[in-house]
Chains A and B, each alone.
Chain A
Amino acid sequence: EAQVTQNPRYLITVTGKKLTVTCSQNMNHEYMSWYRQDPGLGLRQIYYSMNVEVTDKGDVPEGYKVSRKEKRNFPLILESPSPNQTSLYFCASSFTGLMNTEAFFGQGTRLTVV
């Protein structure tokens, strides 16, 4: 089954404790992206990647890191989480060579930083 898998689905952590949210897709997509959803602000892009070893900042990259060492994986790293990073996070993937294709989303990761 074609899917984007995020782990964990729920996470509660303390300020300053490094964490990683994993994202994996099995559709051989070149494009992957991370978004956060906050009330009233919709989906804001954190980072995106057009292919292996190619990453770019989105609208709200501060406090986040990503890596794209393999095509299927795009982990989101919070080196020192803070309470303002409490949010609902979504990973997405898509083809880049075909223009008229949609992005597929994971189920989301709800992160709480206390």
Chain B
Amino acid sequence: DQQVKQNSPSLSVQEGRISILNCDYTNSMFDYFLWYKKYPAEGPTFLISISSIKDKNEDGRFTVFLNKSAKHLSLHIVPSQPGDSAVYFCAARDNYGQNFVFGPGTRLSVLP
């Protein structure tokens, strides 16, 4: 059973608009969450993260929101750019085992 879920396999957004990617998790032991971006033929690269003691973390155009009670996090990209077109993976790490668990990914297409 997947511990980290990304229920939207794909998302298309117009350039300049907001992209919102969602992620849900089931394991209450997770206390650190990350977003990775992956281009074809490359390894995933770290984008932004959030600790469970926060509910928001911002880095330039990227903001991650965490709702612990709902076990839900989201990544907002504003404004979206064509270069943001990639697969985005949500990941979680638990305080006990410290293993990284990844979601299935969402393919974002930003249309010019």
Contact = CB atoms under 8 A, between A and B. Distances in A.
Interface of A: 4, 31, 33, 35, 40-45, 48, 50, 56, 90, 92, 94, 96, 99-100, 102-108
Smallest CB-CB A-B distances: 6 pairs: A42-B104, A105-B43, A102-B46, A43-B102, A42-B105, A105-B44
Contacts of A50: 97-98
Contacts of A105: 36, 43-45
A99 to B, nearest CB: 6
Contact of A94 (B41, B51, B100): B100
Interface string B68-104: 0000000000000000000001010101011111111
Nearest to B45: A105
A7 to B, nearest CB: 13
Interface of B: 6, 9, 31-32, 34, 36, 41-46, 49, 51, 89, 91, 93, 95, 97-105
A99 B104 contact: no
B95 to A, nearest CB: 7
A65 B62 CA distance: 38
Given A41-B104, A43-B89, A43-B105, A90 B44 contact: yes
B43 A99 contact: no
Contacts of B99: 31, 33, 45, 48, 56
Contacts of B104: 40-43
9 contacts: A4-B43, A33-B99, A96-B98, A100-B32, A100-B49, A100-B51, A104-B46, A105-B43, A106-B43
B49 A99 contact: no
